[in-house]
């Protein structure tokens, strides 16, 4: 992207949910934070306490809003929902076991073409997904041409943001990750160029045992 500005984004993936603990896929569908998810969000909030942010933005989906609310208590900010930060819509494949959607090796590989077809027919096309995420990013830059923002979002959105920021090629989004629940990443835009500061930091989650 060629927009000239100076901005630092602190990106947090939402906490564990009841579905992620069961290894079920959710995109537009939602699931509340699990007990572990709430505790991890609290750990992320503690690690960010004392950092000054200009604003806190979040996906409008419940699991992200719950995480943002916990972070907001620590930072003194009210979460601002931004629709472009929603997770990708995976269509009919949502609510199904992850191993069927993304088979590991030969395990359940028979499901791979079926699930790909389901996503293609019923899910959100990459062009639409990348378009709204790009628009959300440009909106954040326009609203805050300098300073630091805290952003709560999802695995797919984080991957797409990295592909847009570092390569300008949304089709490369699946190469980025993994993103742990409540992992923290920092990226900075300076002189029109994005650079990573830290990606998927999880040390704050290992300070306590659940």
Locate 130 and state its tokens.
Answer: 């990348």
pLDDT at 207: 67
pLDDT at 110: 60
Which domains are assigned to the chain? 6-25+33-89+125-206 (3.40.50.1240), 91-123 (no CATH)
Q: What is the C-alpha to C-alpha distance for residues 55 and 50, in angstroms, rounded to an integer?
A: 14
3-state SS string over the chain? CCCCCEEEEEEEECCCEHHHHCCECCCCCCCCECHHHHHHHHHHHHHHCCCCCCEEEECCCHHHHHHHHHHHHHHCCCCEECHHHCCCCCHHHCCCEHHHHCCCCCCCCCHHHHHHHHHHHHCCCHHHHHHHHHHHHHHHHHHCCCCEEEEEECHHHHHHHHHHHHCCCHHHHHHCCCCCCCCEEEEEEECCEEEEEEEEECHHHHCCCC
Q: What is the pTM of this model?
A: 0.90
User: pLDDT tens digit string along 115-140?
Assistant: 666 666 778 999 999 999 999 999 99
Average pLDDT estimate for 42-56: 96
pLDDT band, residue 111 (cuts 50/70/90): low
Residue 108 in this model has a pLDDT that exceeds 60: no
Residue 164 in this model has a pLDDT that exceeds 90: yes
pLDDT at 155: 96
Q: What is the C-alpha to C-alpha distance for residues 124 and 28, in angstroms, rounded to an integer?
A: 10
Residue 166 in this model has a pLDDT that exceeds 70: yes
Q: What is the C-alpha to C-alpha distance for residues 46 and 71, in angstroms, rounded to an integer?
A: 8
Mean pLDDT across the chain: 89
- Percent of the chain past pLDDT 70, that is, above it, reads 86
Residue 109 in this model has a pLDDT that exceeds 80: no
Locate 17 and state its tokens.
Answer: 């949910």
Minimum mean pLDDT range among 26-35, 116-125, 181-190: 116-125
Q: What is the C-alpha to C-alpha distance for residues 81 and 58, in angstroms, rounded to an integer?
A: 5
């Amino acid at each position: 992207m060629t927009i000239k500005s100076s901005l630092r984004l602190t990106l947090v993936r939402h906490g564990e949910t009841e579905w992620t603990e069961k290894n079920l896929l959710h995109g537009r569908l939602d699931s509340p934070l699990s007990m572990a998810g709430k505790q991890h969000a609290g750990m992320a909030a503690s690690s960010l306490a004392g950092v000054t942010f200009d604003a806190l933005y979040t996906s409008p989906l419940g699991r992200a809003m719950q995480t943002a609310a916990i972070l907001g208590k620590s930072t003194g900010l009210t979460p601002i929902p931004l629709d472009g930060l929603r997770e990708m819509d995976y269509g009919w494949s949502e609510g199904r076991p992850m191993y069927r959607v993304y088979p590991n090796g030969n395990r359940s590989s028979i499901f791979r073409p079926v699930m790909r077809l389901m996503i293609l027919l019923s899910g959100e096309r990459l062009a639409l997904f990348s378009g709204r995420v790009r628009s959300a990013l440009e909106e954040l830059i326009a609203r805050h041409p300098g300073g630091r923002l805290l952003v709560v979002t999802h695995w797919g959105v984080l991957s797409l943001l990295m592909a847009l920021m570092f390569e300008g090629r949304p089709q490369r989004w699946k190469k980025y990750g993994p993103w742990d629940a409540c992992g923290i990443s920092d990226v900075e835009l300076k002189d029109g160029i994005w650079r990573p500061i830290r990606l998927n930091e999880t040390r704050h989650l290992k300070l306590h045992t659940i």
